[in-house]
Amino acid sequence: MIVPIKLINKEDIKYNITIGDLPKLLFNNKVAVITNDRVAPLHLDTLLAHIEADNLSVVTIKDGEEYKNMATIEYILDNLFDARLDRKSTLIAFGGGVVGDMTGFCASLYQRGIEFIQIPTTLLSQVDASVGGKTGVNNKYGKNLVGAFYQPSAVYIEPKFLDTLPSREFGAGVAEVIKMAVMFDKEFFNYLRSVDFRDKDMLKMVIKKSVELKANVVNQDEKEAGIRAVLNYGHTFGHVIENETKYKEYLHGEAVAMGMVMANELSVELGLLSRDESNSIEDMLKEYNLPTRYVIEDVNSFYEHFFLDKKSSNNKIKFILSNGGIGTNIIRDDIDKSILIEVLKRFV
Amino acid sequence: MIVPIKLINKEDIKYNITIGDLPKLLFNNKVAVITNDRVAPLHLDTLLAHIEADNLSVVTIKDGEEYKNMATIEYILDNLFDARLDRKSTLIAFGGGVVGDMTGFCASLYQRGIEFIQIPTTLLSQVDASVGGKTGVNNKYGKNLVGAFYQPSAVYIEPKFLDTLPSREFGAGVAEVIKMAVMFDKEFFNYLRSVDFRDKDMLKMVIKKSVELKANVVNQDEKEAGIRAVLNYGHTFGHVIENETKYKEYLHGEAVAMGMVMANELSVELGLLSRDESNSIEDMLKEYNLPTRYVIEDVNSFYEHFFLDKKSSNNKIKFILSNGGIGTNIIRDDIDKSILIEVLKRFV
């Protein structure tokens, strides 16, 4: 089967991204691997067999979004100081998005910045989080509110690490793939509709295409002054969902899936997306067992939560919407409160 | 009197630095002033009279190097979230080096980076710390070990704020001025020897010259890959002194003064500085009532402390030395332990 995906010109991508068999990694400096207690028992031996370094240490943190906070950052940093890492040392993020975001953040902070490498082990981090240099932690005010823009020097994506990924987590990654397709590439969306990319050969192509779409956007707008914000499709709503459920009930990708359905509802309301297309997106999310309907307890409280989102500025909330159907996008910060409340009420 | 100072070409300086009367500052966004409980009672009213903003808040922290830590960073960030600052907001650092370093660090962290402005109120921060974008905090392992390179969008240097500066703090700033002269400009050093720059007209010129020397160096090498390290003259030793005395006994500039005397001793030992010049530098430090002789309790423990300094990498310690006299410099990481121990023993 020929895969109908247009690939982006290599030269357009300034990130050093390798997809496929993990190569042997040789370092003539000190290296610390940051991983978590779920990934370590499954894959750490494999990783360590691929690394040669002057001095190698491993910092294992607890698995879970609830540990994505400053306390864990300080724990990791203390371990790096104890291991006497210096300005020429390298960190390796080995895990999902949480490990990647925190390792990158620590790399940005340690002695005002050392090199780091991403080796993502979840679908979500392989297709999205490991590329683009957004690092940081959550706090009581919301998600990723404290952090840095800090680019990895390399990203190694090894699909074999996904073999042990629970299907629920696989679905969470699928949500970000669908996000990319809905916003940027109708042909890719149609392709995704036509295949089951739990199939391995298909999966590698899907990862490649998603990473390329992501890298292309980040290339154009690293600091999210413009188009990069489109990657937050589903996230304006999703972050509120995660916040309301204290990051415990849903995986990030699951919250994004439900957030996309809300965003679509707003797009439909504004005449920017047809009901058919909206249904088609929701159907696809369901195919991968993603939750699509968040039940809002208190519409006004949900609405108030928007204003702490990073995407809100000068009391305006940015919504990422379709702009006439799948494969199109627009950033809108002029949505009337009354329209929003109306849309939110459909999820009560 | 004509001041014999060569000024650097304005175009060579990419930092937006204003020296002289503080202008009226107009903002059409949210602004938060970060200051401390010593500066606030003296000058905050003056500052606030110069600011117009959509929404202005003030965060006051405790004065002192011992509060330069992550706990204070989190305290400031919480206040910024409570004040609902957004990505378009501006922070203003109003205080000495500690306030400047922490405000810059918070600006780099808040929602992954917002704008900040430096309005330094001590001589040390006016001539040195406010320019160059080094931000961060201390931790139990040492000084400024966690932070970010993050440039202020503007620096306003108002010498009038120095009117209330205690003479001990004035001296601490003088140490950094002398550092700049000894490393980069013999003519400037001789000029400094010939005047008392506690005199106000003289002082403004001295600040201007120091800032220009600093900005020129940082321009060439923001991330300290090379020449910027020369600004750490006196600091390799000074940081150990501060660390051993837990940042409590000496002001930063005082530790640097004692550190310069140690570095000079090493330069003399290596034949890179004459005993006469070394004495002349020490005499000048004494003229401004700076301490010049730190008494080392345990030479080996002092030596071991070097290796946690950021300037150490791959177990090599970088020393910033003279390279043939005042106005010259060299970065050396090849000093034998035996020579160092010998030099350190002269301070027992």
Q: What is the CATH number of the domain that holds A263?
A: 1.20.1090.10
Q: Report pLDDT digits (tens) over B82-92.
A: 999 999 999 99
Task: Kindly state whether residues B141 and B200 are assigned to the same domain.
Answer: no
Confidence check: pLDDT of B296 > 60: yes
Q: What is the mean pLDDT of residues A307-330?
A: 84
* B9 part of a folded domain: no
Domain boundary among B131, B157, B183: B157
Q: Which residue has the higher pLDDT, A76 or B239?
A: A76
Which two tokens mark B317? 């310690």
Quote the pLDDT of residue B315: 72
User: Which of helix, strand or coil describes residue A328?
Assistant: coil
The CA angle B208-B214-B215, to the nearest 5 degrees, is: 85
Which residue of B54, B113, B147 is in closest CB contact with A109? Answer: B147
Contact at CB, A144 and B314, closer than 8 angstroms: no
Which residue of B88, B111, B146 is in closest CB contact with A145? Answer: B111
pTM of the predicted structure, to 2 decimals: 0.89
Of A99-103, A197-201, B113-117, where does mean pLDDT reach its minimum?
A: A197-201
Task: Kindly state whether residues A127 and A225 are assigned to the same domain.
Answer: no
Q: Say whether A224 is catalytic.
A: yes
Contact at CB, A112 and B84, closer than 8 angstroms: no
Confidence check: pLDDT of A269 > 70: yes
Quote the pLDDT of residue A5: 39
ipTM: 0.87
Kindly tell me the number of DSSP H helices and DSSP E strands found in chain B.
12, 12
Quote the pLDDT of residue B332: 96
For residue B149, the chain A residue with the least C-alpha distance is A112
Quote the pLDDT of residue A3: 34
CA distance B58 to B83: 9
pLDDT band at B143 (very low <50, low <70, confident <90, very high): confident
Confidence check: pLDDT of B112 > 80: yes
Placement of tokens 């504004």 in the chain = A270
CA distance A328 to A330: 7
Which entry of A143, A208, A228, A311 is annotated as an active-site residue? A228
Tell me how many residue pairs between chain A and chain B have CB atoms under 8 A apart. Answer: 84
Residues of B with CB under 8 A from a CB of A: 29-30, 54, 70, 74, 77, 81, 84, 86-88, 108-113, 134-136, 139, 141, 144-149, 223, 307-308, 310, 312-315
* A267 part of a folded domain: yes
Q: Report pLDDT digits (tens) over B252-286.
A: 999 999 999 999 999 999 999 999 999 999 999 99
Angle between helices A186-194 and A275-287 (to 10 degrees): 50
Phi-psi region of B114 (alpha: psi -120 to 50; beta: other; left: phi over 0): beta
Contact at CB, A109 and B29, closer than 8 angstroms: no
Of A114-123, B4-13, B122-131, B219-228, where does mean pLDDT reach its minimum?
A: B4-13
Q: Report pLDDT digits (tens) over B151-183.
A: 999 999 999 999 999 999 999 999 999 999 999
Confidence check: pLDDT of A8 > 60: no
Task: Kindly state whether residues B182 and B129 are assigned to the same domain.
Answer: no
Placement of tokens 């020097």 in the chain = A153
Of A275-289, B37-51, B195-209, B284-298, where does mean pLDDT reach its minimum?
A: B195-209
Closest CA to B93 of B152, B28, B21, B161: B152
Taking CA atoms, B163 is separated from A167, B122, B158, in Å, by 67, 10, 10
Domain boundary among A157, A184, A219: A157
Quote the pLDDT of residue A15: 67
CATH number at A75 reads 3.40.50.1970
* B167 part of a folded domain: no
Quote the pLDDT of residue B313: 61
Q: Which amino acid is at A224?
A: E
Chain B hits for A74, CB-CB cut-off 8 Å, are 70
Task: Kindly state whether residues B340 and B235 are assigned to the same domain.
Answer: yes
Domain that holds residue A98: 22-157
Task: Kindly state whether residues B320 and B253 are assigned to the same domain.
Answer: yes
Task: Kindly state whether residues B195 and B341 are assigned to the same domain.
Answer: yes
Secondary structure in 3-state letters for B283-318: HHHHHCCCCCCCCCCCHHHHHHHHHHCCCCECCECC
Chain B hits for A101, CB-CB cut-off 8 Å, are none
Which residue of B30, B112, B307 is in closest CB contact with A148? Answer: B112
CA distance B202 to B217: 23
Task: Kindly state whether residues B79 and B207 are assigned to the same domain.
Answer: no
Task: Kindly state whether residues A181 and A142 are assigned to the same domain.
Answer: no
Which residue of A86, A141, A308 is in closest CB contact with B313? Answer: A86
Taking CA atoms, B320 is separated from A158, A180, B89, B300, in Å, by 45, 51, 39, 20
Which two tokens mark A322? 């379709």
Task: Supply the mean pLDDT for chain A.
Answer: 92
Contact at CB, B310 and A111, closer than 8 angstroms: yes
Of A6-10, A189-193, A285-289, B190-194, where does mean pLDDT reach its minimum?
A: A6-10
Contact at CB, A147 and B310, closer than 8 angstroms: no
* B304 part of a folded domain: yes
Question: Which backbone phi and psi does A118 adopt, to 5 degrees?
Answer: -100, 125
Helices (H), A235-310: 235-244, 252-269, 275-287, 299-305
Which value, to the nearest 10 degrees, does the dihedral of the CA atoms of residues B270, B271, B277, B278 take?
Answer: 20
Percent of chain A topping pLDDT 70:
94
* B31 part of a folded domain: yes
Closest CA to A173 of A198, A191, A156, A199: A198
Task: Kindly state whether residues B211 and B288 are assigned to the same domain.
Answer: yes
* A12 part of a folded domain: no
Positive or negative CA dihedral for A234, A236, A241, A247? positive
Which value, to the nearest 10 degrees, does the dihedral of the CA atoms of residues B239, B244, B250, B251 take?
Answer: 30
Confidence check: pLDDT of A143 > 90: no
Quote the pLDDT of residue B5: 39
Task: Kindly state whether residues B136 and B214 are assigned to the same domain.
Answer: no
Strand partners, B331: B320
Domain boundary among B89, B122, B157: B157
Task: Kindly state whether residues A223 and A84 are assigned to the same domain.
Answer: no
* A329 part of a folded domain: yes
Of A220-234, A242-256, A306-320, B259-273, where does mean pLDDT reach its minimum?
A: A306-320
In terms of Cβ atoms closer than 10 Å to its own Cβ (0-12, 13-18, 19+), residue A7 is exposed
User: Which residue spans within A49-132 are E strands per DSSP?
Assistant: 51-52, 55-61, 90-95, 115-120
Angle between helices A167-184 and A275-287 (to 10 degrees): 150
Q: Say whether A176 is catalytic.
A: yes
Quote the pLDDT of residue B227: 94
Task: Kindly state whether residues B140 and B83 are assigned to the same domain.
Answer: yes
Which entry of A158, A169, A224, A277 is annotated as an active-site residue? A224
Task: Report yes or no: B307 and A84 within 8 Å, Cβ to Cβ.
Answer: yes
Chain A hits for B133, CB-CB cut-off 8 Å, are none
Q: Say whether A214 is catalytic.
A: yes
Confidence check: pLDDT of B125 > 80: yes
Question: Which backbone phi and psi does B158 adopt, to 5 degrees?
Answer: -115, 100
Of A144-148, A309-313, B121-125, where does mean pLDDT reach its minimum?
A: A309-313
Q: Report pLDDT digits (tens) over B302-317.
A: 999 888 666 566 678 9
Quote the pLDDT of residue A26: 95
| Total number of domains constituting chain B | 2
* B4 part of a folded domain: no
Q: What is the mean pLDDT of residues A132-161?
A: 94
pLDDT band at B6 (very low <50, low <70, confident <90, very high): very low
